[in-house]
Amino acid sequence: MAFLLFLILVINRATFQPLRLGDTVKDFSITSFEGEKLQLSDLRGKTVLVNIWASWCVECQAEAALLENAWQQAPEDVVFIGVDYADTQSAAKQFLAANGITYFNGPDLQAKISGYFQITGVPETFLIDKEGRLAAIKIGSFASAEELNAFLQK
């Protein structure tokens, strides 16, 4: 399984050009675990935080409450999107329920979103500005609410 995930990441890296800060983020869609479809282009004019996570990831577990608290306090022009990577639907849903996560979350079934962002592991978080440009990247988990809030201000 680990080799298969590695292969998916390598193939996806070869397919896409590197994404750099300031680049316009390519439009993507994701369907939530509840069947709701979300299109990134529909969120133009809003700041979008994309958090790529997995239920088996210890660091993801550690930052889950920070992300949910930030989401609860975020202004209306800030949207959080959780992208579940290399997981089973039942484990992902259990993770969301156990951590009280209420913001939009969906599976990255073919690793297209995580491949586009060229993740090297989980968690990784990307901030997209109101014009659709990549504003910030965080590799690894947020250590504190202050760190997450500073990230959201970029």
Q: Which residues pair with 51 in a beta bridge?
A: 82, 125
Confidence of residue 16 (pLDDT cuts 50, 70, 90): low
- Structure confidence at residue 13 (pLDDT): 47
Q: Per residue in 99-116, pLDDT tens?
A: 999 999 999 989 999 999
- Structure confidence at residue 109 (pLDDT): 87
For the chain, what are the domain ranges?
2-152
- Best CA proximity match to 126, nearest among 16, 12, 21: 21
CB 68 within 8 A of CB 74: no
The sign of the torsion formed by the CA atoms of 123, 124, 129, 135 equals positive
Residue 10 has pLDDT above 60, yes or no: no
Averaged pLDDT for residues 31-55: 98
CATH of domain 2-152: 3.40.30.10
> Which tokens belong to 85?
């990577």
